[in-house]
Structure 1
């Protein structure tokens, strides 16, 4: 290699590093600016009681506490919210624990997951392979699942890749779902392009559902933690969410006829196999949450960049969507 070529490579590397540094610093200072003024939301220092049903979510109201975990009483979602000093991109909670996926910005941006007790004391943290995407705790609080984008930054991005891991909340052993045996329509699928994401746990914790993808297709799969298996049960299904009684799965389905996804919320009855497409006409890129047996919650982009709102819709498709909570995303119901 000539000296001139070495110099050229060095200059290109310096330019790339400088560009990445500038991007990271710009995002970091933009985040600081958005969170420096008083919050646009009505806040309180009094959190809901430990035994009071509550909604845990990511606060997206501009001002102090932007991007932090927040709580509000479930029977008064429009009331004053408690904003915690915990920054989260994605969050899930139960009456026993909470999981927060976060972006740690700086000169070098990193990504991580932190597990909390029910009273928001940090228990342990570990790194994520990429940009935070999905997080779920099992109903019994024994297992946790996280999904991160390894390449790409959106499910609408061509060629994205994810890493989804599942493991016990009280240990460091985590299983990559790509190592599980995947069966689609009765045949083993070992394609190198397969992707897994969007876990939802059954009541027993050992059973879960997730999205599998390969060759431009997606499937809802049923997983077994102990057997390390994944089996397809429905095609064209992404980001599942199991109902509290375990009888239905809500998911998003791409109904677009072009390369640009257009996701609709759908509900699968596990006994009959019937799928109901709900009357939300906007594209919903979220893993929905069950408010109760009749109602679903999901996040939608807000009017301002970086903001969002939580909407609700009847799970049987008999009513239109309506706004549930402004300046919020990643809702999690705790009863």
Structure 2
């Protein structure tokens, strides 16, 4: 090989390495801005699946330092602060029900890609498909037959201007029920043109019904919408609502509420009366809350001053309740009821 050829090869290798490093750093930065939690490290690959403990349990993404960082773990619902079992599955976001698991994750390499993974009740992969961008939100229906995925196509945070999302609902057998940005959006009985709409934060309500967030940057408005998968409609129910989560008994919706300067409080809406209660969490919560039971909410919060660290907190929905750490070194909780 001539000196010139060797120089060209060396240059190509150097450029490839630089590109790979730049892509990894950029992706890690963007993903870490969504909620302040670092993505799965490059070394954290999916290992042998280990089913979680028997009975009702909570799954979450571990943020504990060490080899399990970025892997999904589980604790017994009866002892959330007790021993945790690592599943060996790497996820940026996770949701789970008794017989299905939805996992959104980042695949790093010379070209970074993103994917959704569906696993069965034994945590064995049953299906994977590509995501259009950085993983953001995922939810399964209670029956485990529907899965919603949200990715940032551009931008990296709901606090950023000019962000764009793609939210899709599919059946767990692979049939797509559509990109929700393409559904008809109705506000006060009038159709809102799909110029710059974004839809995210799906929570299923049974059958073809679901709730989600709809937003229009041009109008500067955000709504809680009730969706219909069969009619392909999104109907505004209430303004200034983001990332809804329907209670197990279906009577209330918890969500994050912008109380000014993109500071998100946690609020609960009674669907029958229309009464809204803002809870006693004074920190800004940029997460889609989960219901531990009909009176308790779970959510992740980054730990101040500790990059990549987070804890899962709980708060009762009664007036005056204060938050407590439920699971340290954890993120993206999901309650699995057997």
Instruction: State the Cα distance separating 1:19 from its structure 2 match.
Output: 6.0
Specify the alignment match of 1:107 in structure 2: 110
Shift of 1:252: 0.5
Question: Alpha-carbon deviation of 1:147?
Answer: 0.4
Which structure exhibits the higher relative contact order, with contacts defined as CA atoms closer than 8 Å and separated by 6 or more residues?
2
The reply on whether 1:31 has 2:41 as its aligned counterpart is yes
Normalised to the residue count of structure 1, the TM-score between the two structures is 0.87
* C-alpha contact 2:62 2:72 (8 A) present in aligned 1: yes
Does residue 1:290 correspond to 2:300, yes or no?
A: no
Task: Structure 2 unaligned segments of length 5 or more: list them.
Answer: 1-13, 29-37
Instruction: Tell whether the 8 Å contact from 1:195 to 1:213 is kept in structure 2 after alignment.
Output: yes
For 1:311, the equivalent position in structure 2 comes to 313
Give per-residue Cα distances to partners, 1:259-304, cap 9 Å, x unaligned.
Answer: xx10000001000111111110000000000000010000000242
- Structure 1 pair 59/293, CA: closer, same or farther in 2 (3 Å)? same
Q: Does 1:91 align with 2:101?
A: no
Distance 1:169 1:334 in 2: 17
- Give the conservation status (yes or no) of the 8 Å contact 2:39–2:92: no
User: Helix, strand or coil for the counterpart of 2:21?
Assistant: helix
Measured after TM superposition, the shift of residue 97 of structure 1 is 0.3
Pair 264,30 (structure 1): closer, same or farther in 2 beyond 3 Å: closer
Residue 243 (structure 2) pairs with residue 244 (structure 1): no
Residue number in structure 2 paired with 1:262 = 263
When residues 278 and 125 of structure 1 are mapped into structure 2, their CA distance, relative to the original with a 3 A threshold, is same
Q: Which aligned pairs between 1:28-177 and structure 2 lie closer than 5 A?
A: 31-32=41-42, 47-49=52-54, 52-177=55-180
**1:209-230 superposed Cα distances (whole Å, 9 cap, x missing partner):** 0000003210000001111111
| TM-score when normalising by structure 2 | 0.86
> Distance in 1 between the 2:39 and 2:209 partners?
43
Unmatched runs of 5 consecutive residues or more in structure 1? 1-14, 37-44
Task: Note closer, same or farther for the CA distance 1:143–1:47 as it changes in structure 2 (3 Å cut).
Answer: closer
TM-align CA RMSD = 2.3
Please say if residues 40 and 106 of structure 2, whose CA atoms lie closer than 8 Å, have aligned partners that are also in contact: no
The Cα of 1:185 is off from its aligned counterpart by: 1.7
Secondary structure (helix, strand or coil) at the match of 2:161 reads coil
Distance apart, 1:163 and its partner CA: 0.3
| Alpha-carbon separation, structure 1, partners of 2:125 and 2:184 | 34
CA shift digits 1:101-124 (9 cap, x unpaired):
001111111000000001101000
Counterpart-to-counterpart distance in 2, 1:229 and 1:46: 38
2:235 aligned with 1:231: yes
Contact 2:40 2:90 in 1 (8 A): no
Are 2:202 and 1:185 equivalent residues in the alignment? no
Aligned residues: 307
Task: Measure, in 1, the Cα distance between the counterparts of 2:222 and 2:51.
Answer: 44
Distance in 1 between residues matched to 2:269 and 2:42, nearest whole Å: 42
1:63-92 CA-partner distances (Å, limit 9, x unpaired): 011101111101111111111221100000
